[in-house]
Each structure stands twice: as C-alpha cells, then as structure tokens.
A and B are shown apart, each in its own frame.
Chain A
Amino acid sequence: MKIHEYQARNLFRKYGIPVPDGVVCHSVEDVEKNVPNNDKLRVVKAQVHVGGRGKAGGVKLAKTKAEAVEKAGQILGMNIKGLTVEKVLVADAVDIEKEFYVGLINDRNSKSVTLMASAEGGVEIEEVARVSPEKIIKLSIDSTMGLMDWQARKIALQLFSDPNEMRQAAAILVKLYRLYVETDSSLAEINPLVLTPDKQVLAIDGKMNFDDNALFRQPEILKMREATEDEKKEIEANEKGLSYIKLDGNIGCMVNGAGLAMATMDMIKLYGGEPANFLDIGGSSSPQKVVEAMNILLSDSNVNAVMINIFGGITRCDDVARGLVTALKEIDTDIPVVIRLSGTNAKEGLEIIREFGLATVSTMSEAAQKAIELSRG
C-alpha cells in the first residue's frame, strides 16, 4: 500500500523526524484559508501516487501567498501519468546547502531490513545505483537487535563531518527505523534529506509503502489508504478472495494460481493478443467465486473475449467444470468464452463443459490462440 508525501510527513513528525511546515489543500479555497498570511517562499507539490511529478509540472515554487494560491490552482486537477491531482501540499521552502538520500527497504537477498544512504540526494536513487553504485552506503539490519545507535552514527559519519550535523542525522536514522518497523513498512525514503545553511538537518520529501500482508494489524495505516479507481476494483476483488489487476488489453483471463495467471497473460501476448487483466481465483474454484470473478472481468468494457485457464490439482477438473457451468448459467453475456482444463480428471471436466455448449481446448497455447481469434470476431 502506498501513501502520499503529506501522509509520510505526518508520520515523520509523529516519530520526531524534523520536516518543514506545510499544509495539505484540496482546493484553491483551502490554500487561501489554511496557508498562513505571509509571503514566505513556498513550494506547491502535487500529491499523487506516481514518481516523476516534478518533470510533469506538478511541483512549483511560490514567492508570495497569492502566488501559492495561483500555483495550486494550476496543479489541482492536473493529469499526471493518468492520475488526476486532487490534493497539493503547500510547504515552506528551505534553503539547501547539501542534499542526501536515506532509505529503508525489505531486502530479499539479505532477508533483512536494509538501510541505504548516499551523499547523492535529490535524484532518483535507482539512477545512482545504476550509474555509480559505489556512492550508496548499505547496511543490513539484524532484526533481533534493530538499528543500533553506533551503526546509525557510523552511517551518518560517512555523510556528515561536523559532529552536530552527524548527531542530527543519526537520530533521524534511528527514528526512521523505528517508524519503519512499527508500521510494517516495506519502503521508507527521505529524499532529499537536507542540510540547511543554518546547519539544520531536515526531511524535505518522504515516501512510504506498507506491506499489504500486515495491514490487518495496522489500522492507523489502513485509514490512510486512498485508492485510485483501478485500485478500488483490485481491493474489492481482494476482499472476495480474488487477486485482480486491470491491464489495457481486450482478452479477459481467469486462472487459478498467480504463477499460472502470469504465464497465461504471457501466452496471450506471445500469440499476438493483449491481456485485459491478471486474475487469480486462488486454490478452490467454488461456483460463487467464478461468478464474482466473471462479473469483475466483464465490468471492464474493453473485454471482448474471455479465456479461463484452470489446472486441476487437488481440486478435480470435473468439480471445477461443474462449478463453471453453474456460474456461467447465472451470467448473461454475449462475450465468447474459451475454457481450458488440465490436470486431474481433465477429460471428464472437458466433457461437462462441452455438453454445456462452450468452446474447450486442452492446452494453454491452443486456448490463447482461440481466445485471440474470438476477440477479433
């Protein structure tokens, strides 16, 4: 789960990580009402769940309050990579002497939380990692000990030579780690962390993601969820035990198992088609689940053919077939459906589907080709 920059800043504040003052505004009126009446230099920033908002014109400086109102008016409603800007953060701009990067991630290789820091702040860390990986300091944190003060100081010493600045940075690292662990985060970045001319170390921009598997025990984090329209559909599917992701193609796919679902999408692409979605109906294939899955698929108006790909393991194909038939009887649609069953009792399953009068095939590649053919009318 992703949150906005202003929400990450609120969490930083709560954990004692210093950030410049700012207010989040939903409208121009909000800016007029909530931004203090003085002419400080401010930065107006679009709050959207995508990177690259600066390049897209979603971040603007304002010298006066009137200008902040004007800039907010320009940014609100703007479309950045397909997302409409509904909120802006109006924050005090600070003078910057130097910029740094600090971040925490769940690292697959060390199987631990890893701290990354770099004196190359303010740019995309992925770019730094690609061009000059030696400029990134990494530390794998032992989950039983957590980030120890001396480790934080050791990292901070490599970024700051002045003892006072180093201590401020080390304290920020320890607080960021505590925030990360206590909220089941999967990514926490301060980019940039800055040093101001009056020697304050501040977090200017923050990004945090959270582990979806842990949201059940993070009610405060869950409250911050602001899903886009596509995400809402995905969340709704999730609540029904389905895993759905909308894509841009026209062939709807329904598959049991995530790996097989990915392989099915690949197969459609391989034969020249475009998958409309990723949809994993999970291990069991109860008729009710199939109906729900079908409804989600067909709610996408781009879909003009559906490919159902089921591998019967412990759940036998004849049981799955009966479920599919029950489900398809309930759904009234003209959109052609291709069904492929394989695995345990596949023969019996295919027979049941054929009797019902639907197209069946026995291999994945045939199914993909047939679905593509049907989608072209």
Chain B
Amino acid sequence: MSILINKETKVLVQGITGRDGAFHTSKMKDYGTNIIGGISPGKGGSDVGGIHVFNTVEEAVKATGANVSVIFVPAPFAGDAILEASYAGVELVVCITEGVPVQDMMKTMPVLKQNGTKLIGANCPGLITPGECLIGILPGMIFKKGNVGLISRSGTLTYEVVNMLSESGLGQSTCVGIGGDPVSGLYFIDLLEMYENDPETDAVVLIGEIGGDAEEQAAAYIKEKMTKPVVAFIAGQSAPPGKRMGHAGAIISSGSGTAEEKIKAFNEAGVPVANEPGKIPGLVKEKLGI
C-alpha cells in the first residue's frame, strides 16, 4: 500500500516530445515507472525512447488503459492539457509545468470535480512511492522505502528533507510535492486524509510555507481527525510582507499567511514545528518512539 500511486500505476506523459518531457520520461522509466505512452498533438505514431506517441489523451487511454497522466507542456497550454486528461478519464493528473496562469487553473476546477479527476500541481515536482513508481522530476535515488509520508509545497527543500530522512534511516511510504501556486489541485487536508487511511504510513512530515491559510486548515484537521503523528516545517519565516518569494503562492499580505500564525496553529494542534530542516528527522523519531 501507499497513496495515489504504486507499481500497478500506468502512466502517460503529455508533452513527451519536448526537451523536459523527453528527459524526465527517460528518468522515470529508469526508476521503474510504468510509462505506457506519450502524447504530442500532430506527432502521433512516432516513438520517444521506445515509448509510443499518441495524438490525443483519449486515444492513448483507449489503447493502453492508462490511469495517470503527467504534464510537461508549456505554461500557456497546461490548463488545456489538464482538461484534456480529465475528459479522457484518467484518475490522476500531475502537472509539473511552472508559470500556469491562475485563471487557467481555476477554469479546470469545476471540470475536475465533475469528472472526478484528482490533480496534483501545477508547478510541482511530482510524487513518488519509493521502489514502485516515480512521477515527475524528483531525484529517485534519494528516496528510500519506509513508513513516513511527506507532503510539501516546495521542490528542492523537499529533496533536502527527504535526503535527511533517508540518511537517518527513515524511509518514505509516498512523498507528494503539491506545488507552490496559489490555486492548485490536491492540498494538505486531502493528502493527510489519505495518509491517515494508509496502513503503510505511520507518520507524516508536512512542509509548508508562507502565504494562504492551508497550513492553519491542516492544523485544525490534524487536531480533529488524525491519529498518526505529524511533524511540520514552515519556510519563509524571514520573508518580508507583500513580496512574492519565487512561488506565486508565497506572498504574505495583510497579516494572513505569516509563518508565526502557521507555527502557532500547528503547536496548538500538538504538531511539533522544526525550526530548521535538519531537526525534522529527530522529531519524527521522537514521535515514532524510535
């Protein structure tokens, strides 16, 4: 078990003929991910590193039975790619593309809901169930199979933390990078619920950052519904208000979304917050009684 993806997952790559799409497809394949097709409109029938290319997602799903699609198409077309995947009936769409206009993302939301499609991203590194399936741009070699779930709004900071967890002997069940945009797909609460119900996850690490109030909502959810321990970290404690810190979602404005408020909410929910990433593995071990 794990959440969202495992060795049975069949993956399509939208934008497989692009530079990033082709590069990461080969990395995912090397990791052992079951990539069973790619999509590139107008290039159907061709081949990228031994993977068959289709013109449309619909065609690819019909031919292969794929249940997940990962998107590498450029930002102006990413919203449409998400819609195409949703209408083709995949269960999970992972959008790696950075810089997607917010309104394009908002347009996809009612459609995803209507079709029952789950979305991760946009502007995210993807997700991994170590040893089984890697979807996105995560560096597979730093992950280890284990019982810690991880959810993060960041990319490299996630790798940093995962590397520390793995080095201290804490493997991971599934790690999900939910992305740094203000409007995105699955968020903390959706994933916390999945981890709570996953028998192979014993503890969860949550990496949040400034902006919005998703961390506060997560804290309230943990307090009320979670039995498994959660350890948190918040990036951006020193960021000035009103400035966008790389991620479009990381803006503190008008007194909401500050690191202090988030840390306070977690502390009140009994969730320890590490003051630096290096302290996370120790806190997880403490919670697991190792």
18 pairs from A and B in contact (CB 8 Å cutoff): A112-B106, A126-B256, A142-B110, A144-B107, A213-B99, A214-B101, A217-B76, A245-B244, A257-B154, A257-B157, A258-B155, A258-B245, A259-B155, A259-B156, A260-B155, A265-B239, A364-B160, A364-B276
Given contacts A259-B235, A266-B237, A278-B239, 17 further A-B contacts (CB under 8 A): A106-B102, A111-B105, A111-B106, A112-B109, A113-B103, A143-B107, A184-B103, A259-B157, A262-B157, A262-B245, A262-B250, A267-B276, A269-B238, A278-B245, A314-B139, A342-B160, A365-B276
| B163 adjacent to A342 (CB under 8 Å) | yes
Q: Are A213 and B248 in contact (CB under 8 A)?
A: yes
Q: Does A151 contact B (CB under 8 A)?
A: no
Nearest to A280 among chain B residues (CB) is B246
- Chain B's interface size range is 35 or more
B277 contacts the other chain (CB 8 A): yes
Q: Please measure, in the bound complex, the distance between the C-alpha atom of A212 and the C-alpha atom of B104, giving whole angstroms.
A: 13
B37 lies within 8 A of chain A by Cβ: no
Residue A311 is within 8 A (CB to CB) of chain B in the complex? yes
B:202-244 near A, CB below 8 Å: 207, 209-210, 212-214, 217, 233, 235-240, 243-244
**Given the interface contacts A247-B240, A259-B180, A311-B159, does A266 sit within 8 Å of B276 by beta carbon?**
yes
Which of A108, A109, A258 gathers most chain B CB within 10 Å?
A258
* Interface flag for A236 (CB, 8 Å): no
Chain A CB within 8 A of B183 CB: yes
Residues of B within 8 A of A186 (CB): 102
Tell me whether A143 and B183 are in contact in the complex, defined as CB-CB below 8 angstroms, given that A214-B102, A270-B275 are known contacts.
Answer: no
Is the C-beta of A268 less than 8 angstroms from some C-beta in chain B?
yes
Summarize A's interface: helix, strand, loop or mixed: mixed
Residue of A nearest to B107 (CB): A143
A263: chain B residues within 8 A (beta carbon): 157, 160, 233, 235, 276-277
The verdict on A313 contacting chain B, using a C-beta distance below 8 Å, is: yes
Residues 49 to 93 of chain B near chain A (Cβ within 8 Å): 75-76
A257, B102: Cβ atoms under 8 Å?
Answer: no
| Chain A residues within an 8 Å CB radius of B248 | 211-213
Interface residues of B in 146-181 (CB under 8 A from A): 152-160, 163, 180
Q: Which residues of B contact A (CB under 8 A)?
A: 27, 75-76, 99-107, 109-111, 137-139, 141-142, 152-160, 163, 180, 182-183, 207, 209-210, 212-214, 217, 233, 235-240, 243-250, 254-256, 275-278
Closest residue on chain A to residue B208 by CB atoms: A259
**B27 engages A314 (CB within 8 Å):** yes
Q: Please state if B159 and A313 are interface contacts (CB–CB under 8 Å).
A: yes
In the A-B complex, list the 10 residue pairs whose CB atoms are closest, starting with the nearest.
A259-B154, A257-B156, A258-B246, A313-B139, A259-B157, A214-B101, A262-B235, A126-B254, A260-B156, A269-B238
B185 smallest CB distance to A (angstroms): 9
A150 lies within 8 A of chain B by Cβ = no
Which of A108, A113, A259 has a CB less than 8 Å from the CB of B209?
Answer: A259
A69 to B271, CA, bound (A): 59
Q: In chain A, residues 357-374, which have Cβ atoms closer than 8 Å to a Cβ of chain B? A: 363-365
Question: For A217, what are the chain B residues with a Cβ–Cβ distance below 8 Å?
Answer: 76, 101
Does B156 lie within 8 Å of A363, measured CB to CB?
A: no
Query: Which chain B positions have C-beta within 8 A of A106?
Result: 102-103, 106, 182-183
CA distance A142 to B139 in the complex (A): 38
Shortest Cβ distance from B249 into chain A, in angstroms?
7
Contacting A311 at CB < 8 Å: which of B102, B160, B236? B160
Other-chain residue from B107, B153, B156 in contact with A256 (beta carbon distance below 8 A): B156
Most chain A CB within a 10 A radius of its CB, from B157, B163, B217: B157
CB closest chain-B residue, reference A107: B183
Contact A258 B154 (CB under 8 A): yes
Q: Contacts A184-B101, A243-B246, A364-B160 hold; do A262 and B210 have CB atoms under 8 A apart?
A: yes
B76 touches A211 (CB 8 A): no
Cβ < 8 Å to B, chain A residues 235-271: 243, 245, 247, 255-263, 265-270
**Cα of A269 to Cα of B207 in the assembled complex, Å:** 19
Q: Which of A131-186 contact B (CB under 8 A)?
A: 142-144, 181, 184, 186
Residues on the A chain within 8 Å of B102, using CB: 106, 184, 186, 211, 213-214
B213 CB contacts on chain A under 8 angstroms:
108-109
